[in-house]
Amino acid sequence: MKIINEMKLEFLGVPENEGFARVAVSAFAVQLDPTLDVLADIKTAVSEAVTNAIVHGYADASGGTVTVAAALQDDGVLSLEIIDKGKGIADIDRAMQPFFTTQPEKERSGMGFSVMQTFMDKVTVESKPGKGTTVRMQKRLREG
């Protein structure tokens, strides 16, 4: 596997930038000529990951930086990282369970990680309380 192109965005962790992130990543991914359905999957997963960073990572101190890094590989795979330096996740396994939410009073469904796992081929999460969270995702766009 060789990286054939990559990009990195940093933006303020405010809700208005979620749409920017999803459009930027999908525009980057079109280089490998994915189907519209695959692009929609990527946009949805990016939206969920960025929204989690903003809503949960920076819940107590809104406006931290969110980083989105993307790489296209010669085997037809898009790799993504969504990174925040927010409050982190104490129990990743629990947080990744369907319907788990830390904000039930705000009518959060707790389906963010489940949605990411449904639409992407691979999802991993690394997090440390007080240090932030990195969500890594991969999606095959074409056969390599």
Residue 52 annotated among the catalytic residues of the structure: yes
Residue 142 annotated among the catalytic residues of the structure: no
**Please, are residues 47 and 111 in contact by the beta-carbon 8 Å criterion?**
no
Catalytic residue among 6, 10, 17, 52: 52
Nearest Cα neighbor of 45 from 11, 79, 14 is: 79
Residue 140 annotated among the catalytic residues of the structure: no
48: tokens are: 């969920």
3-state SS track over 49-113 = HHHHHHHHHCCCCCCCEEEEEEEEECCCEEEEEEEECCCCCCCHHHHCCCCCCCCHHHCCCCCHH
Check residue 7 and give left, alpha or beta (phi > 0: left; psi -120 to 50: alpha): beta
Q: How far apart are CA 91 and CA 128, in angstroms?
A: 9
Catalytic residue among 10, 18, 22, 48: 48
Catalytic residue among 17, 81, 108, 136: 108
Catalytic residues: 48, 52, 108
